[in-house]
Amino acid sequence: MSPDGQTRGVKVTASNNLYTAILALAFCVVLATTVLVAYKCYSQYGTIFKIP
């Protein structure tokens, strides 16, 4: 939506680093939960998505 000239010249920066960190924390939590669930599924059932 912005012109290429403007995009190339504007450096993207976070408007607020605190909420970015909160989002990162949420993402990390979700990711860790996903990894944990995937690990449990694989370790217990031998597969992640298929029904044994």
Partner 1 sequence: MSALTKILIVLLTISSIFLCGIVVTYVANADNYRQKYNDLKADRDSLSRKAKDLTKQVNEKISEKRLLEDRLSSEVVSLKAEIRKLEGDLKNVDRERAGLVQKVNSWASIVQDFSQTNDKQLQLLKDTREELNKVQAEQIRERKELNETTASLIEKMAIIETLEAERKRLLEEKTELQSRLDQLLQPFGKVAAAPVPVTPPRDIARPATDTIRDIALRGLIADVDLKNSMASISIGRADGVKEGMKFYVTRGDDFLCEILIIDVEAEEAVGVLELVQQQPRVGDNVSTNL
Burial of 19 (0-12, 13-18, 19+ CB in 10 A): exposed
Q: Which is nearer to partner 1, 7 or 34 (CB)?
A: 34
Within 10 A of 41 (CB to CB), how many other CB atoms are there?
14
Shortest gap between Cβ of 39 and partner 1 (angstroms)? Answer: 9
Residue closer to partner 1 by CB (options 7, 35) is 35
What is the enclosing helix (H) or strand (E) of 10? none
Where on the chain is the footprint of partner 1 (CB under 8 A)? 15-16, 19, 22-23, 25-26, 29-30, 32-33, 36-37, 40, 44-46, 52
